[in-house]
Amino acid sequence: MTSDKYEIISELAKRRGFFWPSYEIYGGLSGFVTLGPLGSLLKRRIEDKFRSIFVNPLGILEIESSVIMPARVFEASGHVDHFKEPMVKCGDCGRRFRGDHLLQENVGLSDTETEKLNLQDLFDLINENKIGCPNCGGEFNESKNFLTMFTTTIGPYSESIGYGRPEAAQGIFVEFKRLYEYAREKLPFGAVQIGHALRNEISPRQGPIRLREFTIIDLEFFLDPKKDQCPILNTVEREPLRLIPAERKRGGDQESIEITVRTALDKGYIKAEWLAFFIALSKRFLVELGISNDKQRFIEKLEWERAHYSTQGYDQEVWLDRWGWVELSGHNYRADYDLKCHMESSGVDMRVFAADEERIIIDDLIVKPVMSKIGPLFKENASEIVNQLSKVDPRDLVQSFKDNGSYKLESFEILPEYVEIVSVPVEKTGRRFIPHVIEPSFGSDRLVYATLEHSLKMKEGRTVLSLPRDISPIQLSVFPLVSKDGLPEKAEKIRQILVGEDFIVEYDESGSIGRRYARANEIGIPLNITVDYETLENETVTLRDRDSWKQIRIEIKNLPALLEDYFKYKTDFEDLRDKD
Amino acid sequence: MTSDKYEIISELAKRRGFFWPSYEIYGGLSGFVTLGPLGSLLKRRIEDKFRSIFVNPLGILEIESSVIMPARVFEASGHVDHFKEPMVKCGDCGRRFRGDHLLQENVGLSDTETEKLNLQDLFDLINENKIGCPNCGGEFNESKNFLTMFTTTIGPYSESIGYGRPEAAQGIFVEFKRLYEYAREKLPFGAVQIGHALRNEISPRQGPIRLREFTIIDLEFFLDPKKDQCPILNTVEREPLRLIPAERKRGGDQESIEITVRTALDKGYIKAEWLAFFIALSKRFLVELGISNDKQRFIEKLEWERAHYSTQGYDQEVWLDRWGWVELSGHNYRADYDLKCHMESSGVDMRVFAADEERIIIDDLIVKPVMSKIGPLFKENASEIVNQLSKVDPRDLVQSFKDNGSYKLESFEILPEYVEIVSVPVEKTGRRFIPHVIEPSFGSDRLVYATLEHSLKMKEGRTVLSLPRDISPIQLSVFPLVSKDGLPEKAEKIRQILVGEDFIVEYDESGSIGRRYARANEIGIPLNITVDYETLENETVTLRDRDSWKQIRIEIKNLPALLEDYFKYKTDFEDLRDKD
């Protein structure tokens, strides 16, 4: 048996329905993975765990927007210019490859080193090192930066370009105004989107780690840069983190230091309290998925490694058996980059107003009645109209003129030519500014894979997925000891009771009971319920623990309440017993 | 105030964060809608309700595959040929329109009538009726069938075409073999996929009803056509359905008849028990979303209205104020259409084997040792090798030759030329066949919209969304009566307790208590918790019912258990009281 955990998990994942390469019957399509019945459930449980840690307690707003987005969004965000990878083409067979990957594999350059190279340097280095085409050995004669967004057209006009979104963040930024309104125009607030994203990788590898289509979790937290303290920092400040700040990395040191969130802030390793807060939550999140602190680290991005929008960035990395440290989440201080881009590109003001000590001049609208029109037209009512007009919000007037061509003032119709709407400078106390953004971002598929790998245990030669009980895709299995004498019918009834209580339950009557236990262990079912002859006599079943293999007997009528407590971590297996 | 429910809901949806047109800051993009914080939660609750009715009780396998799919899948499925809509182009301004929609709007033809027309007939009718371009009044001078799938390329090679999936069903069919294996090679079983789908509509309208990107719920139920009885039909057979079978429709009668599932089957209106079973579940599903039976009907598709893969089809329609009867789900008997297409196109055998009474001849592989090679090479071991080879599964041999170039037989290496693998006819008891498929298919966005519209009530001049309590996006709101004297702090503590118990809770302290109740009613929060001065004295709060506006006092410590029962429909508001 192989000892490479990636191979073990991939084989298990395929055989037991966690995930497998998509489109196998058509010879496969690299970069696409299908989540099977167990993988899809596991992913949803991981996402729900994310919600229970990040979204619900903080009142983060979850939205859902489209995967296909109009070109203007990604022109504004800088993706059309920056979301590219260096590609080289073989002069003989015409196959295309990622230039930086070739240098990493053949010359041993690190990610950090290839990030620094421009396209020409990279191409020169490939030729200097005489790296041949992996397919035919030929020489590379062409290099270009390849846009790694999927391109399409929207509607029947070919000039209407659309892109498959490479992340879900822009879908939040373009909706900022509506979300800010929903948040009652108060900062800070966060919005999150969990959904498919697309990256048209040149030559994807590494199974579920690098995909062309995957699920991303993008959380955008908007704040006032002048009031950026995190009032709930005390809930995480003693949390220890394994950190590699940029200054250590620059000195060539790749060892992490273990310090608390508080210290990381005090020493200036993390530049914003909310950034530190989310980093701490992310660590806890992965611990709750079963990935212990010593298998995680946070590594700061050096300047040339950071994305174009980021002013400080940390990657949360997890140790994976085959690839070493792999990024599972990114934490970026995006500042006002995105909102500013969309504000400039759309012409829509994305600034917010904070009523505080500074005095500023802002432009405000006022309505001036045109008396030469109103007087002759409305005669004795003219002064009342002028009086009423002074109470109308000028914005309502502008909007109504736009929508209806006129404005209804009680029984009078006000046409645009009756008024002059002018912009005047007004002094106010407060500031107008573009909110800053802190972004934690996860990939669901990597979380699924890392959770599986870190749950892998061997016990007496058997594979056991020791998934946390609230993460295991299937919670319970119900087995009749034998497939006769009414035991299957009784077991099916118990399954129905539990399904009615919203548990996810599998029924299995095939093979020996030992084989069924082994199969349940292999897919991580925390508890197995067995129906035997005694069940028919006294309405009790046995409950078997996945990890200790211990068994206890429980009355069927007590099952739902006991199991509910167990899956909510209110009780442990050892303490499960009938309470009569 | 408008009385058009679509306008009321759209305005409310925009203002309160259910949904709104996407990309507003860039002038909008028709056919794309963003689900805001409340819409996204509502959609997830509706999908979870679907799971609790269809997926969990039946053990349906939920999977997740990609939105971008390789061209071969949709060439095989018939989409590349059939997934087209008639488009006409204005000779003057160049704008393009759906030809059938123009005829429906201008000549009053029905959907059923335009479905029968071919492209030329349609174009002729437009010209005969002198229908001008809605944009400029010009004449249409071009017509073509427009492929309404989004097209892209996958990877760096332009010949590698990919399509945005117009439905999620094909992602299940191409994985049939793996899913059948997961289902332990037993029929019937079902698989479902809930995910984004894309249709590049020519000119989408109707807000959330006809979108270019939307969420589809495709359930594919695989069965043996010779054993197609539904053993749990008794659980639904007395359910009344409002049905318009094809024979009535063909006679020009559009009135539905109300009959039970049993009668619909007995009279031959529904041709398969499982099709009837899913139709009955779909009715119950919508009733649980708050759409009563008299606002639903099932209408059979006539031959020319059915999709290319369907042999019998019913649409579940719901009455919507603006548009009348609108399809919310489709129920199609797809027979063996899809698996057969993919089998023919991929060359992979999708047939299954049923061990039953019929005797059939199937081709089996046998291994013939080539003694002229084995003898001289293995000498004294030759006969042992021949003996061992007779026990090897010929498929393993073929696979190993393919993967490794040889087969390891204990310590011997068997090369392909040592054996001859031949196919021989063998008589077996049983059948090989392609499973048949019954498909219920829903659109999540339409479900969201219809659920909202059907929950809309007015009470004393106020808007109340009377959403079923387990469907309401936000379950609870916590209000301090006033924003001082420690009430906000107490209210926030209660919020935290409830969030810790996995309730979705909103905290609100802005505006008068009456205004906060009104706002909570408007977004359908079933229960409002108010913290007042009495709370500080005796640890009780008031609980207010959204629909009756009645209030009761409850001890804080009893809240979690009482609310859990309430949201699981184990108790009603009238019966909520402290149990001490």
Q: What is the pLDDT of residues A209-266, one digit of tens each?
A: 999 999 999 999 999 999 999 999 999 999 999 999 998 888 777 889 999 999 999 9
Residue B35 φ/ψ, nearest 5 degrees: -85, 120
Residue A532 φ/ψ, nearest 5 degrees: -125, -170
What integer pLDDT is reported at residue A212 of this predicted model? Answer: 97
Q: In chain A, what residues touch B157 (CB-CB under 8 Å)?
A: 96
Residue pair B437/B257 in contact (Cβ under 8 Å)? The answer is: no
Cα B310 to Cα A555, B224, B440, distances in angstroms: 49, 17, 12
Q: What is the CA radius of gyration of chain B?
A: 30
Residues in chain A with pLDDT values less than 50: none
Q: In chain A, what residues touch B179 (CB-CB under 8 Å)?
A: 17, 36-37
What integer pLDDT is reported at residue A86 of this predicted model? Answer: 93
Residue pair A563/A541 in contact (Cβ under 8 Å)? The answer is: no
What integer pLDDT is reported at residue B580 of this predicted model? Answer: 55
Q: Which two tokens stand for residue A102?
A: 């070739």
**What is the interface size between A and B, counted as CB pairs within 8 Å?**
216
Q: What is the dihedral of CA A26, A27, A28, A34, to 10 degrees?
A: 50
The pairing of strands A527-531 and A540-545 is: antiparallel
Residue of B nearest to A213 (CA): B66
Domain ranges of chain B: 5-73+152-337+439-444, 84-147, 362-432, 474-575
ipTM: 0.88
Residue of A nearest to B153 (CA): A150
Q: How far is CA A207 from the centre of its chain?
A: 19
Q: In chain A, what residues touch B63 (CB-CB under 8 Å)?
A: 34-37, 39-40
User: CB-CB: which of B32, B155, B202 is closest to A156?
Assistant: B202
Residues in chain B with pLDDT values less than 70: 1-2, 357, 579-580
Q: Can you spell out the DSSP letters for B472-535? A: -S--EEEEESSSSTTHHHHHHHHHHHHHHTT--EEE--SS-HHHHHHHHHHTT-SEEEEE-HHH
For chain A, the first-to-last Cα distance in angstroms comes to 48
For chain B, the first-to-last Cα distance in angstroms comes to 48
Residue in A518, A562, A523 with CA at minimum distance from that of residue A543: A562
What is the domain class of B84-147 according to CATH? Answer: alpha beta
What integer pLDDT is reported at residue B579 of this predicted model? Answer: 67
DSSP state of B546: T
Task: Please indicate whether, in this complex, the C-beta atoms of A153 and B155 are within 8 angstroms of each other.
Answer: no
Residue A461 φ/ψ, nearest 5 degrees: 75, 0
Q: How far apart, in whole angstroms, are the C-alpha atoms of residue B575 and residue B543?
A: 12
**Cα B130-B133-B134 angle, rounded to 5 deg:** 115
Q: In chain A, what residues touch B195 (CB-CB under 8 Å)?
A: 196
Residue in B55, B52, B474 with CA at minimum distance from that of residue A501: B52
Q: In chain B, what residues touch A502 (CB-CB under 8 Å)?
A: 52, 56
Cα B576 to Cα A492, B526, B561, distances in angstroms: 33, 13, 10
Task: List CB contacts of B337: < 8 A, sequence separation 6 or more.
Answer: B309, B310, B311, B437
Q: How far apart, in whole angstroms, are the C-alpha atoms of residue A71 and residue B23?
A: 11
What number of residues does chain B have? 580
Residue pair B59/B65 in contact (Cβ under 8 Å)? The answer is: no
One-letter amino acid at A400 equals: S
Fold exhibited by the domain B5-73+152-337+439-444: BirA Bifunctional Protein; domain 2 (3.30.930)
Asked if CATH classification 3.40.50.970 holds for the domain at A5-71+154-337+439-444, the reply, yes or no, is no
Task: Please indicate whether, in this complex, the C-beta atoms of A52 and B502 are within 8 angstroms of each other.
Answer: yes
CA distance B56 to chain A (A): 7
Task: Please indicate whether, in this complex, the C-beta atoms of B151 and A152 are within 8 angstroms of each other.
Answer: yes
Task: List CB contacts of A408: < 8 A, sequence separation 6 or more.
Answer: A400, A414
Q: In chain A, what residues touch B96 (CB-CB under 8 Å)?
A: 156-157
User: CB-CB: which of B34, B57, B345 is closest to A499?
Assistant: B57
Task: Please indicate whether, in this complex, the C-beta atoms of A25 and B346 are within 8 angstroms of each other.
Answer: yes
Task: List CB contacts of A31: < 8 A, sequence separation 6 or more.
Answer: A201, A204, A210, A211, A212, A213, B154, B155
Backbone angle region of A380, left / alpha / beta, with phi > 0 → left and psi within -120 to 50 → alpha:
alpha
Residue A366 φ/ψ, nearest 5 degrees: -130, 155
User: CB-CB: which of B17, B345, B346 is closest to A182?
Assistant: B17
Q: Can you spell out the DSSP letters for A155-210? A: TT-TT-EEEE-SSSHHHHHTTHHHHHHHTTT-SSEEEEEEEEEE---SS--TGGGS
Number of alpha carbons in the 13 Å side-chain half-sphere of residue A463? 21
Task: List CB contacts of A304: < 8 A, sequence separation 6 or more.
Answer: A115, A116
What integer pLDDT is reported at residue A400 of this predicted model? Answer: 82
What integer pLDDT is reported at residue B175 of this predicted model? Answer: 97
Q: How far apart, in whole angstroms, are the C-alpha atoms of residue A190 and residue A421?
A: 36
Peptide bond into A376 cis (omega under 30): no
What integer pLDDT is reported at residue A579 of this predicted model? Answer: 66
Cα A209 to Cα A103, A286, B64, B402, distances in angstroms: 20, 16, 16, 27
Residue in A322, A307, A332, A569 with CA at minimum distance from that of residue A436: A332
In the numeric block, the tokens 């649980």 are attached to: B288
What number of residues does chain A have? 580
Q: What is the CA radius of gyration of chain A?
A: 30
In the numeric block, the tokens 């109308």 are attached to: A392
Q: How far apart, in whole angstroms, are the C-alpha atoms of residue B323 and residue B447?
A: 15
Cα A332 to Cα A149, A250, A270, A306, A442, distances in angstroms: 21, 19, 11, 9, 12
B474-575 and B5-73+152-337+439-444 share a CATH fold: no
Q: How far apart, in whole angstroms, are the C-alpha atoms of residue A493 and residue A487?
A: 10
In the numeric block, the tokens 């000119």 are attached to: B203
One-letter amino acid at A70 equals: P
Backbone angle region of B261, left / alpha / beta, with phi > 0 → left and psi within -120 to 50 → alpha:
alpha
In the numeric block, the tokens 């603006």 are attached to: B322
For A429, the enclosing helix (H) or strand (E) is strand A419-433
For B474-575, which CATH superfamily applies? Anticodon-binding domain (3.40.50.800)
Residue in A567, A544, A540, A543 with CA at minimum distance from that of residue A556: A540
CA distance B150 to chain A (A): 6
Residue in B478, B492, B493 with CA at minimum distance from that of residue B543: B478
Task: Please indicate whether, in this complex, the C-beta atoms of B26 and A506 are within 8 angstroms of each other.
Answer: no
Cα B579 to Cα A287, B344, B562, distances in angstroms: 38, 66, 9
What integer pLDDT is reported at residue A42 of this predicted model? Answer: 98
Residue in A130, A101, A133 with CA at minimum distance from that of residue A117: A101
Q: In chain A, what residues touch B171 (CB-CB under 8 Å)?
A: 34
Task: Please indicate whether, in this complex, the C-beta atoms of A66 and B22 are within 8 angstroms of each other.
Answer: yes
